[in-house]
Structures are given as C-alpha cells and as structure tokens.
Structure 1
C-alpha cells in the first residue's frame, strides 16, 4: 500500500552492514545486486559469491517482523506459492532483517472485472485457509492502512509523514467516510485472525493462468476475517497507484471467498466486510490529497461510498 521506488544497479546501493550480514547468516557475501526496491522496507535482490540468489529485507523494527516471517515460513513449508524464508529475523541496529529465496518471474494479472475478482478471491481464500492454524504472536501494530483499531488521538492512525501536512487538503467526504467506517468497524466484536492486509495485484505474480508468487508478507495483520476479506475485495486490482475495485467486483470477490472457505458470512460479517472495503481506500485518498496526487481512490470513494456504507450499515 506504500508508494514504491525501485532502483536497478550495482553494489553502491547496499548499506555497509549487508556484506557481513550475508556472510554470517547466508555463508557468502553479495557478488551482484540484482535489484533494490524501497518502500516501507528496503529490499535487496542479491547473487551471492557462491552463486545463490536471495532477497534480503530490512525494515524498521516495530516488533511485527518475527511473526510475519514465521507465518510466511509455515505457508511456504506447506507449498503455498510464496518465497521461502532462509533465515529468521535478526536485529541490525534499529532494523529487523531477514533473507528469503528469490522467486522471480511471472506477470501481474491486471483488471478489476468480476472475472478477475474471482481469481484473486480464490488465492485469498487459500491464503487465509493456510494461515488459519498458524500460531504466532499477533503482528501488531497493524499496517497503517489496516489500523482502524488504533488508539491514537483523532480519526487517523498517527503517521508523521502525513500528519505534518495541511489536513485541509483532505476533502470532507473522505473524512466523513473514514469516520463512519471506523465507527462501524470498532463497534464489531468479531474475533481477530491472521491475514494478508496488502492484497494488491502488484504483490502477486501469475504463470500460465496460475498464481506463481504472493509477496509482501510484512503486511500481515490481526483483524477479523471478514474485515480482511472485505479490504482485499476492494484493493485486489491495485497494479500501480492504489485503487478501489467496482462494487460488483467486490461482491463477486466476497461470494467466491465464502464458497471456497466453505461457510457463509453472518449478517454482521457481511457488514464488516463492506465497511472494511472502504477504510483502505479512504486512507489512500487521504494520501493522494495530502501529496497532490491524482485522486484515483478519491474519485472512487466519492462514487462508491454511499452504497458501500449502506451495505456496511455504517
């Protein structure tokens, strides 16, 4: 959900600690930098001196990483298509660092039609089923775009890079939508489960019509299942700037998800799913407004909020 910046060059992008860390944890120093991507984490694709190709990920240590990597490892062990962690999480100064296998290739599946929604819903249902019996400490705090349960002052979770900007740039309808959604979600007593909270097209790769890799396991969250499914039903089509899928496609996503999971949502869960489908879009619309970006999510929220709020009883 964070904006991403990618760089593709040589070893000058590597922090000073990386060579020794790779030697100590992976048995060889980097020989070639395959890629470097930076968002909320710094991600380095490396070919080591012994020929092994790995990905090293480093992010600010907020206490979440160990649980996220442990859950990712369990899914990989069971054959779910995600990169297999090669190390647990280690602290490097203020950073949480781990390595995982390099799983290149595949294509982004683009589109936001009901047919595309069905394919993404199938993957999300299998992902959630795989996490259902994984026991790790809840990865809290939740990612900021799924943190409607925060205890910070005000409507939004505290995010310095956003809070320091002029909040008058955020349209009133975005603020109103977020407030109504947050109130509905906080009123729910549904139990929390482990789930992927950044289920966007850009984080999946497909080969021959089958999912090849699901990435971004830093973004696991601890929220009600219906809320996680609802959020994914809204975000799945994001292949570039974050977006909000059409209502019909979100409805298809949720129906297919329930079919594969083998149970129907209760009336409460249906409402929470639809409410959650708006929270991430409102977060992204705020980001757009505060940065002067094109209102991709902002326009979608303006067009869809009334119906999604109605379905969410918000």
Structure 2
C-alpha cells in the first residue's frame, strides 16, 4: 500500500455549538484534495481532535469523508488508543466502512514497555486486514517506541508504514532496518525534507492545510534531483512549519491551523475544550504568518 507522499492530518470542522459541521467537512475535503493536492487524508487523528470525538462521531467521519473523497485520495482512519481491545474494535468497524488504512498512535499514559508496544500493535494487526500505520509521537504520549520495535513490527505484513516524530535518527534507523516497501513518514513538518534525505517516504502534515501545493513542489523537487530548489522551498516554508505550533508560545494543534484556515476563507470553526482558540497575541502572530 502506497498512501502517497503528502498526507494531511485533517482537522475536524465544528459549528458554533461545537458539533461536527458536515457542510464544512464536505468543503474541506474538496479543498484539501483539489487545491492543496493532498494524496491522503488522516481522519480523526490528533489534529482532528480525536480525544474529544466519540466513537460514533469518528465512524460517521470515516464514512462521510470516504464517500466525499470518492477515490480521489486515500482515507486513513485514526483508530488508535491506549486500550488494545477498544482499538481493535474501532479498527474493525472502520474496515467495514471501507477506509484505505488506519493510523494507530502509540499507547499514551499507561506507558507500556517495548514488548508491550510490540504486542499491542501485533494484536491489532492480527484482527484486521487493513494496512496499518503505527504513530510514534513521544511529545504527546509520554513514551517513545524504539526504532528496533518499529523494525520488528515492519515484518508483520499489514503493518505497512510508520509516522515518526521522535527524531531523524529514528527515521534513518527504521529505513535501514525495515523492508524496502515499508514506508516511513515524518510527522513533523519541519523535518519533511530532512526525512526524505535519510530515506523517508513522505510527510503526514498539518501545514499542508495551507501550504500543500508548495510542500508538494518541495517533495517533487527533491525526488527529481533538484536539491537546491527543494532546500529553498523548505527554507521559505520553515516559518510556517514552526509558527503553527509556536505562535509565539506553544499552542496545541489544531488551534493555530484552524484559525489559519479561517483566515484563508476555509470555514472549519473553532476547537473543542480542553483546547482553546488563539488569544489576541497568538491570533495576530498567525495573521502575519499566513499573509
């Protein structure tokens, strides 16, 4: 399974009452595919505010986005949690809906050891035919899956890729030790180009909500051997990559990118508690950033 080079971790649009805005979801899917050139969409991942979505809402989102995408891009369901049994059940339901794959975050809070991590993902893989993407994001989960564990998981046929946010060292080690058709995606926009340089396949991105076209140009330039152009585009995009998470102090995703989308005329609403929208200083920073 090749999910493409540029995958967007899609926000979940809400209305003024904090409920899913289905008209806005429809428009956002078209915008990300047609205007920002996303080859895949992660639905109900962290950027989609998965911790505050019910299972029913997630399943509705998977079904709705799959129907709306209509084969124009891959649809990857965010079904991971720190409960192995629950993750299996939600992944199986997503599989019945017909999604192209599932993104599974490393279990958070309960902090399993490396053997527990391996058994968690192996148990899920054994109960579904879906292509699976483990997601290693130590800054959010409080635990880091080692490169060795990811390499071990890469031997399982339907674990086909990983989203890696630990370090470039992790990316390089996983690429070196896993099968050639196992794809390593950076989960950090600012590491998209460096990850390609050490053998990564692509990026699962937040910034692609507003800079997908130039990110595609950057990736294409690197792959075609135009390294100087790729580096130039990376440097131009770098303030966006960093600013959406540090505006001017760390602001949890997706608060900043939702506000940036609104500034671009893409209606997605605000965030659900416990997240909060940007304050006045943060909003001004984002306005300057996206101009």
TM-score, normalised to structure 1's length? 0.27
Structure with greater Cα Rg: 1
Query: Greater share of strand residues, 1 or 2?
Result: 1
TM-score, normalised to structure 2's length? 0.29
